[in-house]
Amino acid sequence: MKEFQRKQLLERIEREGATIGARIPEQITVQGEPVELQQFVFEIRRRETVPSGEKDRVERAKRNLRRERIERKEQIESGEISFEKGEELARSIIGIDRALTELENLGRVDLEAEQRAQEAADRKRWMSFLKQALGDDNADGGKVNSRGGPR
């Protein structure tokens, strides 16, 4: 592989947003063992939360994927492989990165949904307060004048 090709591949795998649109590999060999990576990630992501028994499995998978990514990157860095092999490694690294992104985002809170829920709870508390302060007659949205009576 030529130097400029090696640099091009390394830049590609380190590019921010490289995983956008990338597919998680169906199967990948990690530490000499074949792993059904796509199936594993989709199985874990399908659940609302990761059961405590699965957390260790997910953490172990992430560690192994990170290790595999480093090994594959080092093969590209060495430059002792063909450009075709480097291309294949780069695609697999980007797929590993995509899988890692999915696994890292497990259980993360959707901040916008959290904010909407907080605002709804605030409105509910405010309406409850108004209901108590104004009495049940006006709690259903009836208009109140400045003296506290109906308009």
pLDDT tens string 72-83: 999 999 989 999
Assess whether 19 and 68 both reside in one domain. yes
Tell me which of 89, 104, 119 is where a domain ends: 104
At 91, is the pLDDT very low, low, confident or very high (cuts 50, 70, 90)?
very high
Question: Is there a single domain that holds both residue 64 and residue 84?
Answer: yes
Name the average pLDDT for the chain.
Answer: 83
Q: Closest by alpha carbon to 26, among 42, 12, 50?
A: 42
Structural domain of residue 11, as residue ranges? Answer: 3-104
Among 11-15, 16-20, 92-96, 98-102, the range scoring the smallest mean pLDDT is: 16-20
- Residue burial 93-106, b: 16+ Cβ < 10 Å; e: rest: bbbbbbbbebbeeb
Of the residues 104, 124, 142, the one at which a domain ends? 104
* Residue 140 token pair: 């259903």
**Mean pLDDT (whole number) for 1-28:** 90
Total domains in the chain come to: 2
Give the mean model confidence (pLDDT) for residues 53-69.
89
Per DSSP, helices labelled H in 15-110 are 37-45, 52-78, 83-104
Q: For the chain, what percent of residues have pLDDT higher than 70? A: 83
Structure tokens at 132: 């108590």
Statement to judge: residues 79 and 99 lie in one domain: yes
Model's pTM, two decimal places? 0.66
Same domain assignment for residues 18 and 54: yes
